[in-house]
Copies of this chain bind each other. A is one copy, B any other.
Amino acid sequence: MIAGGTVLLFLDLLGTFAFALNGALTALRATRLDIVGVVTLGMITAVGGGTIRDVLLDSLPPATFADWRYYAVAAAGGLIAFLLGRHLERLNRPINVLDAVGLALFAVTGATKAVGLGFGPEQAIVVGAITAVGGGTIRDVLIGRIPSVLSSGLYAIPALIGATTTVIAGALGADGAFTEVGAAVLCFVIRMIGLRFDLNAPAPPAAPERDGGDAD
């Protein structure tokens, strides 16, 4: 129904798997869980962003719910993390790469879906970023962590750049599938550069008394 529909679906499912695996492993490292918890948190990481996206875009029931392939793929990622978690936990780098893949793909597919449904560029950019960071945010809340996207690293910003690139390229008439892959690569590269050089988004100016973290 939209240009590059098959590519979009494939990218979306790939991002779903990457997020499920990464989300389940993150949850495993953070707290004590059983199989229900690990698989559920993997699935929520994977489909949470897309569910919020589809609520905001009035595209209910959510694709992540109506299309069983999303949660089959998400459940598979969660189960693999559950079974192999002990071994995978040591693989920090591939986990971060997987997460960046999911971030990039979801930012692009989220923005593309919004444009395809007739929403304006500002909505498409916002919803692309929400699709990308939403699932991990819900997961962090469920395991009692303040979502890291709010406090450090370059995470939302590459997602916003990926979504913005998608929207601008689409407005300039670029080919759907090509644009999507290019914007995803841009988001992915920025995210990986941020990780490699430990870049952070700007912190509030001069708040010296808040060094202790959870002082409150």
B58 touches A61 (CB 8 A): yes
Q: Which of B57, B82, B213 contacts A32 (CB 8 A)?
A: B213
Bound CA–CA A32/B128 (angstroms): 25
**B contact residues around A150 at 8 Å (CB):** 33-34, 36-37, 40-41, 142-143
**Segment at the B interface, from A14-22, A173-181, A202-210:** A202-210
Bound CA–CA A142/B144 (angstroms): 9
A151 touches B86 (CB 8 A): no
A30 at the interface (CB under 8 A from B): yes
* Interface size class, chain A: 35 or more
B204 touches A85 (CB 8 A): yes
Give per-residue flags for A59-82: 1 if the beta carbon is below 8 A from chain B beta carbons, else 0: 011100110100100000000001
A169 at the interface (CB under 8 A from B): no
A56 at the interface (CB under 8 A from B): yes
B86 touches A207 (CB 8 A): yes
The answer to whether residues A34 and B216 also contact, given A58-B60, A60-B55 and a CB cut-off of 8 A, is no
B149 touches A37 (CB 8 A): yes
B34 touches A152 (CB 8 A): yes
**B contact residues around A56 at 8 Å (CB):** 51, 60-62, 65
Bound CA–CA A36/B162 (angstroms): 16
Q: Which of B126, B143, B149 contacts A146 (CB 8 A)?
A: B143
| Contacts A36-B150, A58-B61, A142-B146 supplied; 13 other A-B pairs, CB < 8 Å | A31-B214, A31-B216, A36-B157, A40-B150, A55-B60, A66-B123, A68-B120, A68-B122, A71-B122, A85-B204, A85-B207, A86-B206, A144-B146
